[in-house]
């Protein structure tokens, strides 16, 4: 069996729509105020897809930028995973992106794990690349994308949700590295909280007429929008993310005989749902605000699966040698964390 190799990010990219949705504009749409939004969420602007932009175009643009940044031929990518919740159709977004990038035989599939979908994508690629190396001695590359068109599923007459979300995409090419390796990953799902954050209910509606094979779907709901119990989500989110950071550190220590602690973490990218959640996670981990990424939530709102890889680009080249953690939670409740080094 070959020696283990280091696998990490070799290239990063993102795409943000041109169109900026400000708090002032939301004041014209629903009964809200800039003051309320900033105080309760920290969000000042979000990007919203406009004509000519789509989930596919954003994912392709972010991926192209990551591949260019990695300096590799796209045909060397053997696995593509796209974290996305708002595609809601087939064929998978991954198959469309794979074709657009010209990487015909890669294993390409979407992952739907709420706002943690990018973390789940990275974990799957990391495990697969490790397996390909250990089992076949093959050094391969993977492409993880987080992309989301939250504006598609947002009800712009519901002030309790429409101020929160934005669109965008981020991507990472993952492969063999000299430094800047992924140290450990951890993911989990707590289905007991699934009802706190949902999109529509048509999946739950049973066949009403077995003979005619008719569905009741349109009579039951015509509300294809995200709904959530915000304050309950808030409480579970903080608890879950803090515990997942501890779990990923513990997994790394147990697998490698190390004694890393929270004090060794230089920087954290928490899912950018709400500035108060981001701050609460930082405080629980005893990290000063400069060690906790928060520009994403202020500038782009909650971009769900895209929020962490979008954030990487804001710090590109600034954190050499850091030990960092990405941590996310979302619908499901699916959550998880990645512990990694940044390249020297």
163 binds ligand ACO (CB under 6 A): yes
CA distances from 83 to 74, 113, 177, 280 (A): 19, 7, 23, 25
Active site residue 302: yes
Q: Which residues in 219-248 contact ligand ACO (CB under 6 A)?
A: 228, 230-231, 233-234, 237
- Considering only 74, 331, 338, 343, the residue that binds ligand ACO (CB under 6 A) is 331
88 by Cβ neighbours in 10 Å (0-12 / 13-18 / 19+) ranks as middle
Catalytic residue, chosen from 115, 162, 274, 299, is 115
Task: Quote the least distance from Cβ 306 to ligand ACO, whole Å.
Answer: 11
Binding mask 248-287 for ligand ACO (x = CB under 6 A): -------------------------xx--x----------
59 binds ligand ACO (CB under 6 A): no
- Assigned token pair, 123: 């974990």
**DSSP conformational letter for 320:** T
- Assigned token pair, 148: 């989301």
Q: Which residues in 164-223 contact ligand ACO (CB under 6 A)?
A: 197
Task: Quote the least distance from Cβ 44 to ligand ACO, whole Å.
Answer: 14
32 binds ligand ACO (CB under 6 A): yes
Task: Quote the least distance from Cβ 40 to ligand ACO, whole Å.
Answer: 4
**DSSP conformational letter for 181:** B
Of the two residues 106 and 115, which places its CB atom closer to ligand ACO in the complex? Answer: 115
97 binds ligand ACO (CB under 6 A): no
Neighbours of 134 (CB within 10 A): 14
3-state secondary structure (DSSP) of residue 206: coil
Helix (H) or strand (E) holding 151: none
- Give residues with Cβ within 8 angstroms of 306, minimum separation 6: 14, 83, 118, 146, 147, 148, 167, 168, 169, 170
Of the two residues 118 and 186, which places its CB atom closer to ligand ACO in the complex? Answer: 118
Active site residue 115: yes
Of the two residues 196 and 285, which places its CB atom closer to ligand ACO in the complex? Answer: 196
Catalytic residue, chosen from 87, 271, 274, 299, is 271
CA distances from 6 to 184, 273, 333 (A): 11, 31, 30
- Considering only 114, 146, 301, 336, the residue that binds ligand ACO (CB under 6 A) is 114
- Assigned token pair, 147: 């992309």
Task: Quote the least distance from Cβ 91 to ligand ACO, whole Å.
Answer: 23
Active site residue 162: no
The rounded distance, in Å, linking the Cα atoms of 117 and 111 is 6
Are 12 and 171 contacting, i.e. CB atoms less than 8 angstroms apart? Answer: yes
According to DSSP, the β-strands at 20-22 and 45-47 are antiparallel
User: What residues line the site for ligand ACO (CB under 6 A)?
Assistant: 32, 36-37, 40-41, 114-115, 159-160, 163, 197, 228, 230-231, 233-234, 237, 273-274, 277, 302, 304, 330-331
Residues carrying an active site annotation:
115, 271, 302
């Amino acid at each position: 069996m070959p020696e283990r190799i280091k696998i990490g990010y070799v290239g990063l990219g993102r795409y943000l729509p041109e169109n900026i949705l400000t708090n002032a504009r939301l004041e014209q749409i629903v009964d809200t105020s800039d003051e309320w939004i900033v105080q309760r969420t920290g969000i000042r602007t979000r990007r919203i897809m406009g004509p000519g932009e789509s989930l596919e175009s954003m994912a392709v643009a972010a991926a192209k930028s990551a591949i260019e940044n990695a300096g590799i031929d796209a045909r060397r990518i053997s696995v593509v995973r796209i974290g996305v919740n708002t595609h809601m159709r087939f064929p998978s977004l991954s198959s469309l992106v794979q074709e657009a990038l010209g990487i015909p035989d890669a294993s390409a599939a979407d992952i739907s794990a709420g706002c943690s979908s990018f973390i789940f994508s990275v974990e799957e690629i990391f495990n697969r690349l490790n397996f390909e190396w250990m089992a076949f001695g093959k050094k391969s590359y993977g492409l993880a994308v987080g992309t989301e068109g939250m504006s598609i599923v947002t009800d712009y007459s519901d002030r309790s949700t429409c101020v929160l979300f934005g669109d965008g995409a981020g991507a990472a090419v993952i492969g063999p590295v000299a430094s800047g390796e992924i140290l450990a990953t951890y993911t989990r799902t707590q289905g007991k909280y699934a009802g706190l954050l949902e999109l529509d209910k048509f999946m739950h509606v049973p066949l009403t007429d077995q003979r005619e094979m008719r569905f009741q779907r349109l009579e039951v709901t015509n509300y294809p929008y995200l709904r959530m119990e915000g304050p309950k989500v808030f409480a579970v989110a903080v608890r879950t993310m803090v515990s997942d950071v501890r779990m990923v550190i513990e997994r790394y220590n147990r697998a490698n005989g190390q004694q890393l602690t929270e004090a060794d973490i230089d920087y954290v990218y928490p899912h950018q749902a709400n500035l108060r959640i981001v701050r609460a996670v930082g405080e629980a981990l005893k990290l000063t605000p400069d060690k906790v990424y928060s520009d994403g939530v202020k500038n782009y709102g909650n971009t769900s699966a895209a929020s962490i890889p979008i954030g990487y680009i804001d710090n590109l080249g600034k954190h050499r040698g850091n030990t960092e953690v990405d941590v996310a939670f979302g619908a499901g409740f699916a959550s998880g964390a990645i512990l990694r080094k940044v390249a020297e």
